[in-house]
Each structure stands twice: as structure tokens, then as C-alpha cells.
Amino acid sequence: MKFFVDTAEVADIRSLVELGMVDGVTTNPSLIAKSGRNMAEVIAEICAITPGPVSAEVTATEYEGMLAEGRFLRQIAANVCVKVPLTEAGLRTCKTLSSEGTQVNVTLCFSAGQAILAAKAGATFISPFVGRLDDIGQDGLELIAEIVEIYANYPDFTTEVLVASIRHPIHLIQSAKLGAHVATLPPAVIRQLLKHPLTDRGLEAFLADWKKTGQSIL
């Protein structure tokens, strides 16, 4: 499973790249706004330190505007993946950009039917939002299972399932068990995956026993 980091904070991305936990990055207008920086500058900096796709989202709502913004965004760096919403205009933009060789991430997916449309439009990634579905009493992971199963039935579909709106490690683990291709995670959730009380307790015991020997490795 590929890990994308869901943030526009360059320091967080850089530290996780050094840890080997970054295959790509996802951003959106809200995350860029939180950074307080110029959008194009942030995207360019992230692309320079990220090995894989960096999703940069359009803000227009009509086809011509989305297309123009998408073409501008892809010029920032070779690894920009243009992010469009799952609307009629967004899917039309996805079809055009993907036919031009641009990677496209179709976001705000909340149904399996929408995911089928995105695959037919040539999306590189489809982003179902599990946390937001959970918030309204629906099972977000059930949607992941449905999309993974449907895509597996059709070898011509090359769209990868990118699980978004992940709130905690269980979302990630269950998505991996279901066979999702990618998960986009806030930095805090990646670091949560590192933690277990038995790991900490075991390390403390090992170090205490080693100290008693009076030895030094170097």
C-alpha cells in the first residue's frame, strides 16, 4: 500500500520523507490556506522533496475554468497530479487532462457509482472519504470494499483507490486489508501507527538490562 501525506506543511512532509513513509502528497485549498503561503510556491516546494504524485486541487467549478487551472497546476512540476471534484464538470476535466497525459485525482467520492464514473473518465486516483461518511452514520469502509471489488472485476480500469479522510489507524489498517491501493494520511496518524505501549516498555527493559552490564557497543 502506498502512503500519501495529507498536508501542505513542508516540515512535516520532509521529516516523513526521511522516515521513508511518503509515496506522494495530497493537498487541498483548506490545507493550503492553513499554511498561510502562496499556493504555487508551496506546491513547487512539496514536489521537489516528494518522490511521487502531489495532488494540487482546482478551485473553479465550471469546465473551462477547471481545465485552465489544471493546465496551470501541471506546469508547476512534473509530478503534479491535478485534483478535481466529482461533478460533471470535474469528470469532463478529468477526461480531457488524462487524455493529455496528466495524472488526475478525482476527489469527494461518496458512492460506488461515482467511483465507476471516475474510472471511466480516466482518473488516476479516486478519493473516497471514509471519515466524512462515518460522521453521518454510514460505514465509510464499506464503500472502500465496494469500490475495490468493482474495480477488480474490470481489468481495463486502471484507477487506484486512494482512501481519504482517514481519522485514525483503524481506518488505515482496514483499508489495507480490503486491498486499497493508496491511503492519504495526516502526519499525526502516521506517527500514531508507530506507537504501542509494549514497544516502549520492551525498549525500556532492554536498555535497563544493557546498562547493568557496564558495556558499550562503541
The residues carrying an active-site annotation are: 83
Number of neighbouring beta carbons within 10 Å of residue 216? 6
How far is Cα 10 from Cα 20, in angstroms, rounded to an integer?
Answer: 15
How far is Cα 28 from Cα 31, in angstroms, rounded to an integer?
Answer: 5
Nearest to 70 by CA among 88, 49, 91: 91
Are the CB atoms for 165 and 157 separated by under 8 Å? no
Are the CB atoms for 102 and 74 separated by under 8 Å? yes
How far is Cα 26 from Cα 22, in angstroms, rounded to an integer?
Answer: 11
Are the CB atoms for 24 and 47 separated by under 8 Å? no
